[in-house]
Structure 1
Amino acid sequence: MHILSKVIVGAALWGVASVLPASSQVQLEGYFLAEEACPAFQSFNKQTNPGNVHVERMRAYELLGKNKANASHYFIRMNGVVPSERWVEVTCGRHLTDAESGQVAGGQQPPKTKVVRPAFEGPSRDADFVLAASWQPAFCQSHRDVDECVTQGADRFDAKNFALHGLWPQPRGNFWCGVSPKEKELAERRSTRGQLPGLALDNETREELNKVMPGTQSFLDRYEWVKHGTCYSDKPEEYYRESLDLMNQLNTSAVQDLFAAHIGNELTVSQVRAAFDRSFGAGAGDRVGVSCKGGLITELYLNLKGRIEEGSSMSDLLLAGQPTNSNCQGNVGRVDDVGFAR
């Protein structure tokens, strides 16, 4: 199942201070393992509990802090509820550190080298995502030394089709779910991404991903999984199969036809949005942001809303999404060809 909860150890603590005054809350790292099905309060003083939410027994939740040193309540972040930050009684469960977090799955301790992520429920039917689709020749103009740009040629798929950058659960900041500080450190530097654990993908998925995401040559797939995929699913196979399904719908649409027919020439934002309307329904183009850099169209950002599964309709997801803006100067950008400008 997909995961929308922001299980961010350490990094998530940045948001805690904006929720409560520092004097009334002690920050913590790790997870809260619920041992009872206790109420999860928005305010434990007033006993308010919007949605009558309860933690689930033997489920781990991101732990943000506690109300004081000698605490009565833990402050946690939950998946798929509003508001997501909740208070639970300390007697309801226990604080697990990263070293102890392997105990959350049925009480079994995995090997110490295994990365353990707590299990969470999938998103609601109203979940928001951004599908980032790159126009690779334009990306390579400013990334000439990365492997996928060194090897790019006119006969490669991404010369005339959109490349997968990533599928990003929203809102912005919903990333690094259950990721260790070491993983995050490796992911954030392009030179060390190859040290991240390899992804368990079917051969068919791996072959398709290498074609549609040329950045796999510099381990973009591992980076996107660690940063965004961990907030979408507990399985890289599911994350990338569903991402590739969306990309296939984009690359077999009037949008791809439009870009391929205008390589070396300019397109207006209105033309791009009209192509989305033709393929995915009136108004779909308003949910797409066109991003430009140096006069080149570098990326499309598709605002999607709903539950994404293999076979989900791009039309339905787009039309349910939020309208967005573009940043192209004069609302015009050129569709770049393979090769570096001199």
Structure 2
Amino acid sequence: MRAAACLLASAMLASATPLASQAYQCNLPSKVEVPRIDSERPRRLPVTGYTLALSWSPEFCRFREDQRRHARQCSGDSGRFGFIVHGLWPDSERSWPQWCGGRQPSESDLRPNLCISPDARLLARQWAKHGSCMTRRPATYFKVTRILYGGLQWPDFVRISREDDLTVGTIRKRFADANPGWFPEAVGVVLDNRGWLEELRLCYDKRFMPDACDRQRYGAQDGEPAKIWRGL
């Protein structure tokens, strides 16, 4: 599994787009406090694929602009964000592998990711909960995450938000059309209970190639009306 991740990194590095493509004026902090995450009961299962969960930051920050806990992502002082990485998750046909053990990440592990996932605690938790079931080293997990994210092309979601009669199917199609090799069935869409876009969940097979999402990851159905908060 570690060899596959390294092979992926080498193959995609040359073609990766800038990591700040969804982070406007984001700068990496000079210092990062490394939070300690307490592990939970392990669930070690064979990995059958992966999910890259991407949170739509304007919706997340909609009522959190003044919260100190989310200041880096939501205050605007560290830049404005579009889609940010919620996490890279290993999947299993039976359940989700979780909490497989491993060392705490270091500052040098976390810092390079703070323009694609602007929360050190979230990063540390994603490593402990998910990444530890993929590889032994936090640096490898985060490197693969950055390369997957950097390899994506982003349609203009502000423009998409203004389309008449916007549906979940339109969101899937716009993303797939912008990314050669992707297809709508590999793009999960999560809406909140009022129909606002919260998250995309990109589904991969064991080789990190786009794969059709199962029902759990697919989320909302194509015909459902959707809204996208622009945060402007």
Under TM normalisation by the shorter chain, which class is it? 0.5 to 0.7
C-alpha separation between the residues in 1 aligned to 2:141 and 2:170? 31
From 296, 300, 318, the equivalent of 2:200 is: 300
How many pairs align? Answer: 189
CA offsets 1:133-164 (integer angstroms, 9 cap, x no match): 01011112355533247743398241xx3100
Residue 156 to residue 230, structure 1, CA distance change in 2 (3 Å): same
List structure 1 runs of 4+ shifted beyond 4 angstroms.
263-266
CA offsets 1:121-144 (integer angstroms, 9 cap, x no match): xx6xxx311110010111123555
CA offsets 1:172-202 (integer angstroms, 9 cap, x no match): 33100026xxxxxxxxxxxxxxxx9443536
Residue 233 to residue 150, structure 1, CA distance change in 2 (3 Å): closer
* SS across alignment from 2:119: helix
Which has the larger Rg?
1
Give, in angstroms, the shift of residue 277 of structure 1: 3.1
Which residue of structure 1 aligns with residue 127 of structure 2?
225
* SS across alignment from 2:99: coil
Root-mean-square deviation (Å): 3.4
Matched, 1:199 2:106: yes
C-alpha separation between the residues in 2 aligned to 1:226 and 1:283? 29
C-alpha separation between the residues in 1 aligned to 2:86 and 2:212? 19
User: What is the TM-score of this pair, normalised by structure 2?
Assistant: 0.67
Give, in angstroms, the shift of residue 327 of structure 1: 2.5
Which residue of structure 2 aligns with residue 2 of structure 1?
2
Structure 2: give runs of 5+ residues left out of the alignment.
4-38
Which residue of structure 1 aligns with residue 41 of structure 2?
11
Q: How does 1:64-75 map to 2 (within 5 A)?
A: none
| Maintained 8 Å contact 2:196/2:226 | yes
C-alpha separation between the residues in 2 aligned to 1:222 and 1:128? 22
From 208, 214, 230, the equivalent of 2:118 is: 214
User: What is the TM-score of this pair, normalised by structure 1?
Assistant: 0.47
Which residue of structure 1 aligns with residue 155 of structure 2?
257
Query: AA paired with 1:260?
Result: V
C-alpha separation between the residues in 2 aligned to 1:150 and 1:287? 27
CA offsets 1:68-99 (integer angstroms, 9 cap, x no match): xxxxxxxxx7x75xxxxxxxxxxxxxxxxxxx
Structure with more contact order per residue of length (Cα contacts < 8 Å, sep ≥ 6): 2
| Maintained 8 Å contact 1:138/1:297 | yes
